[in-house]
Amino acid sequence: RLHVGRAKPRRWRGLAESSPLQPPEGNAVMVVQKRRYVLFEVIVDAAPRPGAIVEDDVMQAVSEALAANWGDVGEAQAQTRMLYWSTAVHLGVLRCQRCQEEELLAARIRKARLEELEGRASAREGDLADARSRLEELQTRASAQEHELAAARLRNARLEELEKKAAARERE
């Protein structure tokens, strides 16, 4: 049969009208990418001056940690992107694929440009607005004194560990 003029819409046989397998009306197709936003803080042994650790160093350390733990495929699947980095307080927001957030959080980032660091995830958020509001909260609380105290606590904890090891060696 030929239809002249307006084309008759094609019906799919065997499928309900509300089936998700029906083709979309028109040409508009919407794809939703499911992402997670990880708010993190970089803690350094010695209190660095502001601006000592830059965004490129952090991204290099993240990609190296992902590649070391899950290989190049795992690093590529994570699709990480730095959305925000504060050189003053060492806080950042990373975007990654939703299915790869646990791998990103588990990747222990140890070194960036030969400096020992420790990364700590402060929050995992479902959308960017939540991550930004959480970041603003942390930035208002963070100050130079808090980072100096954190560095001093870390040094004290490591000194205590070294003293315990030395005492254990003396006992042997």
pLDDT tens per residue across span 108-126: 665 554 444 455 555 555 6
Q: 130: which 2 tokens?
A: 């939540």
For 7, the 3-state DSSP assignment is coil
Q: What is the dihedral of CA 80, 84, 90, 94, to 10 degrees?
A: -20
The contacts of residue 74 (CB under 8 Å, 6+ apart) are 66, 67, 100, 103
Q: What is the pTM of this model?
A: 0.49
Neighbours of 74 (CB within 10 A): 16
Give the pLDDT confidence score for residue 139 in this predicted structure: 67
Sequence length of the chain is 172
Does residue 157 have a pLDDT over 60?
A: yes
- For the segment 64-105, what is each residue's pLDDT rounded down to a tens digit? 888 888 888 888 888 888 888 888 777 888 888 888 777 777
Q: Which CATH class is domain 35-171?
A: alpha beta
Give the pLDDT confidence score for residue 113 in this predicted structure: 46
Burial 48-70 (b: 16+ CB within 10 A, else e): beeeebeeebbbebbbbbbbeeb
Instruction: Break the chain into its structural domains and give their ranges.
Output: 35-171
Q: Give the largest Cα separation in the chain, rounded.
A: 99
Helices (H), the chain: 55-78, 101-106, 128-141, 144-171
Give the pLDDT confidence score for residue 116 in this predicted structure: 47
- For the segment 50-69, what is each residue's pLDDT rounded down to a tens digit? 667 788 888 888 888 888 88
The phi, psi pair for 82, rounded to 5°, reads -80, 120
Give the pLDDT confidence score for residue 28 in this predicted structure: 59
- For the segment 138-152, what is each residue's pLDDT rounded down to a tens digit? 666 665 556 677 777
Does residue 20 have a pLDDT over 70?
A: no
Q: Which of 46, 27, 119, 138 has the alpha carbon at shortest distance from 80?
A: 119
Most confident of 14-18, 19-23, 69-73, 99-103: 69-73
Pairwise pLDDT comparison (46 vs 77), residue with the higher score: 77
Give the integer Cα–Cα distance in Å for 86 and 122: 14
Give the pLDDT confidence score for residue 3 in this predicted structure: 38
